[in-house]
Structure formats: structure tokens, C-alpha cells
Amino acid sequence: MPQHLHQAWHRLAHSRLLRWAAAVLAVVLVVEYIVLPQLAGSGNIVSAVLGLPVILVLLAVLLETGSLASYSWLTREVLPGEERPGFFTLFRIDLADLAVNHTVPGGGTTSAAARFRLLTRCGVQSENALSAATVQVVGANLVLAGLFSAGLLTVHSTSAAGRYLSTAGAVVLGLLVLSVAVLTVLDRHLDGAVRIASSAARTIRVISPASAEQFVRTIAAEVQMFRGDPRRFAAAVVLAALRYVLDAACLWVFLAAYGHVLHPAELLLAYSLANLVALAPLTPGGLGLVEGVLVPMLVAFGAPDHAAVLGVLSWRLVQFWLPIPAGGLAYLSLRLGILRRKQKQPRNKSSGAASTVVRQK
């Protein structure tokens, strides 16, 4: 390729305009083929939910709120140190995180960055925020995989859900074993893990070897913290499980409201598999993926078609769509509250302290 064409292609490939165009195209495709088909029937879903007994709708909303609150308590448990933001602050940060996750294609990475920024602006040290987020996400996903395995062991002998469940179970079991192996290496062979991470960083050149070493040592310190505090570890596991169990209970309430009472083990299996599939960063919050897995699985477990569709879409109305405006309001309250106070604090200090902050930046 001629030099001038090569340079033009290099500038185009690294241009911000091209990245924005690709992002806009991805959003348009998601909205056109996934979001709009769901919204086309949203009026019917809203009408169906409003036609349910008020006590059942309130119960479902309370269960979903409890699920979100459990995740925020989990955030407090995994954050190192004693100086941590209050629960209400963390709850609003997690709501804002969900709002981003549910509106941006592949929103997990973007929402994680937004959550990291909010945590650090609320006074959490950057290394603590990073290690806590990593341990929290990995730990919660391991608990989800454990719930799936428990459901699979309970349902497998009595259900005709299909051979693919056994395949999914084998994959999940392999991931669990791999995760335990990684944690064991971090605990018993930290220096070797640091050398491997530093070598990988030098090869990939995405982060510096020093940053990779610091990250591995921080994660190892987090694991060591839980080993030295069994109560904290048990609380973290229970809170991670509550996050999913309460969310699944919200789905169970809607299914029961539409006339089908599902066995808890079958519910747990279908729910956990759908959420494991949703971890793939393809659509915002697993939009379309969760419904595409959950509805046919519920039907395979004996739920009538109308109960499965109405139950899942009503649950997603509370679990997926409702946190979007709630997260926007939560972010606004943070901006007008604690973030504004934190922003004003350096200005109230002496000029000497302010110059020190500037030099550190």
C-alpha cells in the first residue's frame, strides 16, 4: 500500500469521528432490532401490570429494591478500609451504574468506568475502588454460577429441559474450577502471579508492568482480607446471593400473578442461566438475550406461553426499565449533594494545601 494511503487509513482508523460513528450505528441497530420490538408491546405490558393486584406489584417492586440494596451492601463489604461512603450514597451510585449499563451497548465497561469515577469522587481511593469492583463483580458472578449449578443438580433428574443444560453446566463448572485455581495462585504463589502479570503487560502493552503488578497485589490483599475476616466473607457471599435470589423472587411473583407457580429450583436454573448469558457484552443489560433465553426455558418447565411472556416482560419492566429513570435521578442527587460538597472541599483549604494537590495531579 502506498505510504500516503497507509497514513490516511491510519488517521481514519484512529479518528474519534469513526469511533463515534461506529457507536451510533451500534445504538441504532440495537434500538431498531431489539428495543423497538419490545417497546411495541410495552403498552400492553404496562396495562397488564396495572391490572394486577396492587399488593403483588408492590411486593415485586420491594423485592427488586431489596436486590439492588443487597448489591450496595455488598459494595460496602468489599471496599477495604474503614472510611467508606454511606449506604445511601453507594445505593445511588449503583442506580446510576445500572442506568448507564441499561442504555449503552456493551454498557458494562462504560458503566464500570462511570461507577469507578463516582466512587473516587466520593472519597474512595482509586486502588481500593478498582480492587473492590473487581472482587465484587467476579465474586457475584461466581455466586451466580453456583446458583446455576445448584439449580442444575436439583432439576436435572426430573426435567426435560434439554441436553444443552448439561453442556452449560459443564462450562460453568469449568469456570468455577478456573476461578478457584486463580484465587489459590494469588493466595499461595503471589510472586509468581506478579511475574506472569508483569510479563503479560509487557507483551500486550495495554497497561504498564508496574500497574499490572499493583493490580495483582491489590486483588491478593483483598482476598487475604476476606481470609482473615470470615464474618466479612460470609456476609459478602450472603449479600451476593441475596442480590440474585430477591431478583428471581420478583420474577416468581409476576409468574404467579399471571397464573403459573414455578418450582423454585426450576426458577433458579432458568434465571441464573439467562443472567449468565447476559454477561456477554452484546446488548445493554442483556436486552433481548435475557428474554430470549428465559421465556423458552420457562415454557420448557411447564409455564403456559402467555404466563411466561407476560411474567418475563413485566419483570423486565421493573428490573430493567425502571432503574433507568431512577438512576438518572440518583445521579442528579449525587451531583447536587455529596459530589458538590466534595468539589468545594479543596477550595476551602489553604493555598499551600491547594498547591500540593495541584502538584500531585
The answer as to whether 1 is a domain residue is no
**What pTM, to 2 d.p., does this model score?**
0.74
Is 115:133 a contact under the CB 8 Å cutoff? yes
The answer as to whether 7 is a domain residue is no
Which range of residues forms the domain containing residue 269? 51-79+88-342
Q: Please give the radius of gyration of the chain, using alpha carbons only, rounded to the nearest integer.
A: 23
The answer as to whether 6 is a domain residue is no
The Cα–Cα gap between 140 and 244 comes to 9
pLDDT of the chain, 361 residues: tens digit per residue: 455 444 554 554 455 555 545 544 554 454 445 444 544 444 578 888 888 999 999 999 999 999 999 999 998 888 876 667 889 999 999 999 998 888 876 666 778 888 888 888 888 888 778 778 877 887 888 888 888 888 777 775 444 455 556 666 666 666 667 666 766 766 677 777 777 777 777 777 656 777 666 667 766 766 676 666 678 788 888 999 999 999 999 999 999 999 999 999 889 989 998 888 887 777 778 888 888 889 988 988 889 988 998 999 999 999 999 999 999 999 998 888 887 776 666 544 433 333 333 333 3
Give how many domains the chain has, as a whole number: 1
The answer as to whether 139 is a domain residue is yes
Return the number of other C-beta atoms located less than 10 Å from residue 233's C-beta: 17
The answer as to whether 44 is a domain residue is no
The answer as to whether 166 is a domain residue is yes
- Sequential DSSP letters for 113-158: HHHHHHHHHTT--HHHHHHHHHHHHHHHHHHHHHHHHHHHHHHTTT
The answer as to whether 287 is a domain residue is yes
